[in-house]
Amino acid sequence: MTDALVEAHRRAAPDSPLDLGLLKASALDPSLPLFGRIADGIRQTGSFNEPEQWHFAAERACTREEWLDQFPTLGALTRLPPDRLTEVLDRVGAVIDRLGGHIVVPYATMAVTSTRSTTA
């Protein structure tokens, strides 16, 4: 499924910086380095206790219509001209139709928390 969606996007928008290949990984994988840097920034202030990272993964089944409504809000797709976006949506919609009219989309919720240090 993911390979077909990635290929549909690449054919319609070959110069798009949006990397749909990330759908092949865990929904958490692309964000983990960013949250590590956030935790490092909190540590460097010297004003907070050791940061904790929380993450939760989930999946959601989406109908063709639900995904095509949400898909254009992803990153670089928001900058595509209307004709190119229509082409991407048509191609991705055709893939979803071939897959039975729905796809399972991975989601991730992440947070970094810390409390102010009493020694700072």
pLDDT by 10s per residue, the chain, length 120: 566 666 766 776 666 655 555 555 555 566 678 888 999 999 999 999 999 988 888 888 999 999 999 988 877 778 888 988 898 899 889 989 988 999 888 877 888 999 999 865
Give the closest residue to 62 by CA, choosing from 118, 106, 111, 32: 106
| Residue 57 CA: distances (Å) to CA of 2, 5, 31, 89 | 18, 21, 12, 26
Is the pTM value of this prediction over 0.95?
A: no
Per DSSP, the residues of 77-103 read GGGS-HHHHHHHHHHHHHHHHHTTSEE
Strand partners, 113: 52
At 52, list the tokens: 């904790």
In the chain, the amino acid numbered 105 is V
Domain range annotation of the chain:
2-113
